[in-house]
Amino acid sequence: MAEWVFFPPVAFIIVFGTVLFFSGLLTRLSFKASRNLKDGSRKAYACGENVPEGQVQVNYGQFFPFAFFFTILHVFALMVATVPIQTMNSFFIGVIYIIGAITGLVILFRR
């Protein structure tokens, strides 16, 4: 194959055209809603419960601390694991990240 195919704009156009082709092809197989919609077909599904309109309030109180904990530890693990060992400066970078992770976890779990 010619090298011009791998030129980024050309490759983008080829991939974009392929995606459009398959999208148009698969559109014929997609579900089409009937015109005879039942009364409750446009309501939110809540596991068989009736959900009052506008009264659903999601509590993220337990989600955000877990998400911050996950983020802090994964960024810490990524940074400490990829610090090169050859130089002494990299040791101090690792120590700074360890101190930062400990500080972030203390702040996250203080009550």
Residue-range domain boundaries for the chain: 1-29, 61-111
- For residue 93, the model assigns a pLDDT of 76
- For residue 7, the model assigns a pLDDT of 87
The answer to whether 66 and 108 are in contact (CB under 8 A) is no
Query: To the nearest whole percent, how much of the chain has pLDDT over 70?
Result: 73
- Measured from the Cβ of residue 85, the count of other Cβ atoms closer than 10 Å reads 8
41-68 pLDDT, tens digit each: 666 666 766 666 666 677 777 788 888 8
- Kindly state the DSSP code that residue 3 receives in the 8-state scheme: G
The answer to whether the predicted template modeling score (pTM) of the entire model surpasses 0.75 is no
Query: To the nearest whole percent, how much of the chain has pLDDT over 90?
Result: 14
